[in-house]
Structure 1
Amino acid sequence: MPNVIIIEPSQYLRMPWKNGLGETLEIQRHEDKIGLRFRISQASVVENGMFSDFSGLHRTLVLLSGEGMTLGHKNGSNRQLNTLSKPLNMARFSGGDETHATLKNGKIEDLNIMVRDTDTQARIEAYTAPCSFSFSNNDTLFSGFYCNEKCTLEIDNGEVVNGEIVSVDAHSTVIFSKDTRVLLSQGSGVFIQVFASN
C-alpha cells in the first residue's frame, strides 16, 4: 500500500550485544557523521546481569513477553528502579547508567529504543486494540508501529477514501512515511516516532 512498508522479523539484522552476553535483532538503525543517532531493536534476556554501557544515548525498554524483570539503575549517587511486570510496560533511562536486570521468572523479550540524547527524542506509546492514534510525519527521522502480536490496522494517510485495512504478523514493524491516522482493531504493539530535538 502507498507510503507504508512492512518489515518482517526475518528481515531484521542479527547482531551481538555490546557486552557479548547475547544478541539483538536490529529493526532500524541510523548513523550520521557524529555516530549513532537512533536504534530500534528486539532482544531476549535469559539471565540476570548488567546492561551494556550506551553513554550518550537515552533508552526506552518495552517488555514484550515473559513474566517480567526489575531494572536497577545507578548513576553516581542517583538510583532508580523500574519494575516491568506485564507486556508493554516500559522503562526510560540513560544509556550511561549502570543498569542491572533481575528476571522475575525466566526469559523475557523486550523492545529497545535508543536515541542520541543531545539532539534526538522519541515518542513511544503502547497501544492495545481497540483504539486509534494519529501523528504528523513532518520532520521525523522514523515513524513506525511494532506489532507485539498479530495486528489488524486500518491506515488512513489520505491515499484511500476510507483507509486501507492491513493484517500484520506478530513481531513485524509497519513503517509510515506520511501523516497518518491508525485504527488498531486487533492486537497490541508499540508506536515509535523519532525526531530531532533542536
Structure 2
Amino acid sequence: MTGPSVAVVRVSDRRRVPWKNGAGVTEEIASGPGSTAGLPLWRISVADLGSTPSVFSAFEGIDRIFTVVGDHGVTLDWESRSETVTPWRPRKFDGAQAPRCTPEGATRALNVMAPTPEVGATVEPVDLGACPVTSQPDEVTALFVRCGTAVAASHRAAAGDCIVVRHDEVTLRGSARGLVIRIRTPKSHNPD
C-alpha cells in the first residue's frame, strides 16, 4: 500500500474543478485510481448548486449518487419525469441522464460517481453516536460529516470535513452524523 490509509479532507483541502459541461464548479474530496480513459475510476465531490437552475453534466456508463448536503432541497427534471430531492437523502441515477436542477434556495450536493458495473458504490446516512462504522480492506470508505465530530485512528473530523480510509480496517467513532460512502473497486485497481 502506498501512502497513509486514513486522511481527513477539510473544506480548504478540496480541489476546485469545473463541471464537465462548464455550468458550475465542484470541489473534489477523493478520487482514484485512473481508468483506461485517463480519468479517475471513481470520484467523491461536493458541487455548489447555487440558487438558480442549472443542467448537470452527462456521464455515460457512470452511476451518480446525488445527495443534497445544503439547507435547501432541489427539483430534478428529466425529459419524462420530475423528482424533488430533500437534504441528506441519497438518490442514485444513471449519470448519462443529465437532469435540470432547480434549487429551492442556495444549496450544495455531494456526488459519488462510479462506473457500472465495474465499481460498486453506496451512500447511506449514519449516526456514529448510535453505531460506529468500520471500514473494510477491500473498499474505500469515506465519512462526510454533517455535524458533530468523528475520530478514525488519530484523525479527527468536524462538520464539513470528510474522513477517507483507503483499503484498511479502521473504526470510525464519535458524535458525528453524516453520510458514509463505500466504494468497492476491482482487485486489479486495489493496492497490494
TM-score range for the pair, normalised by the shorter chain length: 0.7 to 0.9
Give yes or no for the alignment of 1:109 onto 2:108. Answer: yes
Aligned-pair CA distance for 1:6: 1.3
For the 8 Å contact 1:131–1:183, the answer to whether it is kept is: no
Aligned residues: 180
5 Å-filtered alignment, 1:116-127, equals: 116-127=115-126
1:3–1:16 distance in 2 versus 1, CA, 3 Å: closer
Aligned-pair CA distance for 1:66: 2.0
5 Å-filtered alignment, 1:52-63, equals: 52-63=57-68
Aligned-pair CA distance for 1:166: 5.5
Give yes or no for the alignment of 1:41 onto 2:45. Answer: yes
Q: Could you tell me which residue of structure 2 aligns to residue 151 of structure 1? A: 149
Aligned-pair CA distance for 1:181: 3.2
Q: Could you tell me which residue of structure 2 aligns to residue 170 of structure 1? A: 159
Separation in 2, partners of 1:109, 1:190: 14
- In the alignment, structure 1 segments of 5+ residues that lack a partner are 156-163
Aligned-pair CA distance for 1:148: 2.2
5 Å-filtered alignment, 1:10-159, equals: 10-30=12-32, 31-34=34-37, 35-46=39-50, 47-74=52-79, 79-86=80-87, 88-104=88-104, 106-128=105-127, 130-140=129-139, 142-153=140-151, 155=152
More strand by share: 1
Aligned-pair CA distance for 1:65: 1.2
Separation in 2, partners of 1:54, 1:7: 25
5 Å-filtered alignment, 1:182-197, equals: 182-185=172-175, 187-196=176-185
Q: Per-residue CA shift, 1:96-148, capped at 9, x if unaligned?
A: 013111212x21111100001130111211113532143452322x2111112
Q: Secondary structure at the match of 1:145?
A: strand
Separation in 2, partners of 1:49, 1:92: 19
For the 8 Å contact 2:7–2:155, the answer to whether it is kept is: no
Q: Secondary structure at the match of 1:132?
A: coil
Q: Which amino acid aligns with 1:191?
A: V
Q: Could you tell me which residue of structure 2 aligns to residue 158 of structure 1? A: none
1:134–1:148 distance in 2 versus 1, CA, 3 Å: closer
TM-score by length of 1: 0.79
- In the alignment, structure 2 segments of 5+ residues that lack a partner are 188-192
Separation in 1, partners of 2:42, 2:78: 21
1:193–1:84 distance in 2 versus 1, CA, 3 Å: same
Separation in 1, partners of 2:134, 2:121: 13
For the 8 Å contact 1:132–1:184, the answer to whether it is kept is: no
Separation in 2, partners of 1:102, 1:115: 24
Separation in 1, partners of 2:84, 2:125: 16
